[in-house]
């Protein structure tokens, strides 16, 4: 991968192999790793150098150069009970979960040197993508996302999995289509990642005894697109407190949209939600996509999928990311290669079921008031003209969630006041990269689905900030 830093960009969509990222068979070790994350060992042979720069919010640039270690792992490399293995293979319908671990530190005995004060970053990819969007794509500052996080937080441990049937975390062979459809939704993606964090890596062990059943405070989750939807669900369902969603593909169901049409007065009457109301009814385009996809997905072939991807590739990737044409071209080619590499015959079922799950939406009417209240732990970054998750669509989603909470509040449901407050405040925290006071956006400036994630350093700065917010607040209180 490092050899692409100096490459001239090419016009065609390349294979991932052209970017020095070859497929490898998952290796299951005979000797099982004990102790979860703390049992992972890092070898000197895995050490990688990197050199680039990072920028703070004031525009100050810092040159960085350091080495870091890398370990490839599978969930089945770890000591799991028979019940846990059954849950992975039967309930989650996965053969295994492949993930990559990165750290600048290791102990003298070769272990990763895990300890409670080290933050753990879990990075989740989107539809038809893999861990490579975070680990392999060189950005405008000559660093990958993983390298930039390590530059900002030298003690960090970064976990980057393949998930939801993509990459090397595949669904079980010969599984029925209906079963895969049922187990490939954003909710199940979140369940897979919770299994990885809580059961495989045993991160909950560092919580206080009173919090043993809660998500670990030391974990920060970043998710993009489908991964962003999973990150939000992990925050709501398991209470993860440091979650950042980039262009989250979390859409309402048709029933949710019908509910909104019959409950618009809820938002009109709530002053705190006035800002949300004007975004109602903006989800017409998405409904049209769903109907077209339902018909198309019934007769898929590898050739058809690849031809379709080539057609929508420019819309998916956009025309620019960082504003540097030369570096953008290389990034877009690499991102395209990662996606195209997933469009193979053995992945057609995964591709079709996951996209239909995304487009059919998540039923927010089933969320409890506590789950909605947990949105206080989520931050969102979304491009103004994102091609797959437009800002207007995102606002419609958040409006829908808010309406359910406000309706429950009016009905006197316990916990609804906190839930409605959290949902409305989340809208106010949605950040649009590059938007400054007085700036006007034109449709021609459309910059694709990866602008929010990779276009500048907003995401990594935000991720570092939310992961250390408790530490920073303690320092402020002490001073």
Of the pLDDT bands very low, low, confident and very high (cuts 50, 70, 90), residue 56 is very high
- Of 36-40, 318-322, 331-335, which one has max mean pLDDT? 36-40
| pLDDT score recorded for residue 24 | 44
Banded pLDDT at 270 (limits 50, 70, 90): low
Tokens, residue 400: 């829908």
Domains of the chain, by residue range, sit at 2-478
Task: Tell me the mean pLDDT in the region 455-475.
Answer: 80
**What percent of the residues of the chain are helix, what percent strand, and what percent coil, each to the nearest 5?**
50, 15, 35
Find the range with the poorest average confidence among 83-87, 208-212, 424-428.
Answer: 208-212
Burial 26-61 (b: 16+ CB within 10 A, else e): beeeeeebeebbbbbebeeebeeebebbbeeeeeee
Three-state secondary structure string covering 97-138: CEEEEEECCCCCCCECCCCCCCCEEEEECCCCCCCHHHHCCC
Determine contact, residues 145/134, Cβ cutoff 8 Å.
yes
pLDDT surpasses 90 at 318: no
CA dihedral angle for residue 258, residue 431, residue 54, residue 201, rounded to 10 degrees: -40
pLDDT band for 154, please (50, 70, 90 cuts). Answer: very high
Give the model confidence (pLDDT) of 402-449 as tens digits: 989 989 998 999 999 999 999 989 988 888 876 544 445 555 455 678
What pLDDT shows up at residue 71? 97
Phi, psi of 433 (to 5 degrees): -60, 135
334: enclosing H helix or E strand = helix 325-341
Mean pLDDT, to the nearest integer, of 174-185? Answer: 84
Per-residue pLDDT for 288 more than 50? no
At residue 264, the pLDDT reads 63
Is pLDDT larger for residue 257 or for residue 103?
103
pLDDT of residue 268: 54
**Pick from 217, 223, 262, 264: which is nearest to 238 by CA?**
217
Arithmetic mean of pLDDT, 72-92: 95
Q: What is the mean pLDDT of residues 55-69?
A: 95
Q: Does domain 2-478 have CATH number 3.40.50.1820?
A: yes
pLDDT number for residue 26: 47
pLDDT band (50, 70, 90) for residue 273: very low
Alpha-carbon distance 430 to 447, whole Å?
18
Q: Which two tokens stand for residue 282?
A: 């903006």
Q: And the tokens for 93?
A: 């319908």
**Displacement of CA 136 from its chain's centroid (Å):** 16
More confident residue, 475 or 247: 247
pLDDT at position 265 is 62
Q: What is the average per-residue pLDDT within 333-360?
A: 83
pLDDT at 222 exceeding the cut of 80: yes
Q: Which tens digits make up the pLDDT trace of 329-338?
A: 888 888 888 8
* Confidence at residue 305, expressed as pLDDT on a 0 to 100 scale: 57
Are the beta carbons of 146 and 158 closer than 8 angstroms?
yes
State the pLDDT confidence band at 183, using cuts at 50, 70 and 90. Answer: very high
CA pair distance 394, 10, nearest whole angstrom: 34
Give yes or no for a contact between 375 and 232, defined as CB atoms under 8 angstroms apart.
Answer: yes
Q: pLDDT grade, residue 223 (50/70/90)?
A: very high
pLDDT at 309: 57
Q: What does the radius of gyration of the chain's CA atoms come to, in whole angstroms? A: 22
Report pLDDT for 302. Answer: 54
pLDDT value, residue 125:
97
CA 359, 365, 368, 369 dihedral sign is: positive
Q: Which pLDDT band holds residue 304 (cuts at 50, 70, 90)?
A: low
């Amino acid at each position: 991968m490092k050899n692409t830093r100096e490459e001239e960009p090419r016009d065609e969509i390349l294979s991932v192999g052209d970017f020095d990222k070859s497929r490898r068979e998952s290796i299951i070790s005979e000797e099982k790793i004990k102790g979860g994350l703390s049992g992972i060992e890092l070898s000197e042979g895995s050490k990688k150098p990197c050199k680039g720069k990072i920028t703070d919010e004031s525009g100050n640039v810092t040159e960085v150069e350091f080495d870091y270690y890398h370990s490839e792992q599978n969930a089945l490399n770890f000591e799991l009970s028979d019940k846990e293995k059954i849950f992975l293979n039967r309930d989650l319908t996965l053969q295994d979960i492949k993930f990559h671990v990165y750290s600048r530190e290791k102990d003298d005995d070769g272990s990763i040197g895990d300890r409670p004060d080290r933050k753990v970053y879990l990075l989740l990819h989107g539809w038809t993508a893999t861990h490579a969007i975070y680990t392999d794509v060189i950005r405008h500052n000559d660093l990958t996302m993983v390298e930039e996080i390590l530059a900002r937080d030298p003690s960090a441990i970064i976990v980057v999995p393949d998930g939801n049937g993509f990459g090397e975390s595949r669904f079980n062979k010969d599984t029925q289509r209906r079963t895969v459809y049922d187990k490939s939704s954003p909710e199940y993606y979140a369940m897979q990642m919770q299994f990885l964090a809580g059961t495989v890596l045993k991160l909950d062990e560092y919580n206080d005894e009173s919090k043993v059943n809660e998500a670990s405070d030391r974990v920060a989750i970043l998710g993009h697109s489908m991964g962003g939807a999973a990150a939000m669900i992990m925050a709501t369902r398991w209470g993860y407190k440091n979650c950042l969603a980039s262009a989250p593909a979390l859409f309402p169901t048709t029933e949710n949209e019908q509910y909104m049409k019959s409950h618009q007065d809820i938002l009109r009457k709530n002053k705190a939600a006035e800002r949300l109301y004007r975004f109602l009814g903006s989800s017409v385009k998405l409904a049209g996509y769903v109907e077209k996809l339902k018909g198309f997905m019934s007769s898929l072939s590898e050739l058809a999928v690849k031809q379709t991807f080539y057609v929508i590739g420019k819309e998916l990737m956009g025309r620019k990311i960082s504003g540097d044409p030369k570096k953008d071209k290389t990034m877009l080619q690499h991102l395209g290669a990662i996606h195209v590499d997933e469009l193979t015959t053995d992945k057609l079922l995964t591709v079709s079921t996951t996209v239909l799950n995304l487009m059919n939406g998540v039923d927010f009417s089933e969320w409890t008031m506590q789950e909605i209240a947990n949105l206080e732990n989520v931050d969102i970054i979304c491009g103004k003209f994102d091609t797959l998750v437009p800002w207007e669509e995102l606002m419609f989603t958040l409006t829908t969630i808010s309406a359910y909470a406000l309706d429950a509040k009016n009905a006197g449901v316990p916990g609804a006041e906190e839930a409605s407050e959290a949902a409305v405040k989340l809208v106010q925290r949605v950040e649009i990269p590059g938007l400054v006071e007085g700036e006007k956006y034109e449709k021609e400036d459309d910059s694709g689905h990866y602008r929010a994630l990779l276009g500048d350093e907003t995401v990594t700065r935000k991720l570092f900030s939310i992961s250390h917010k408790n530490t920073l607040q303690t320092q402020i209180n002490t001073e």
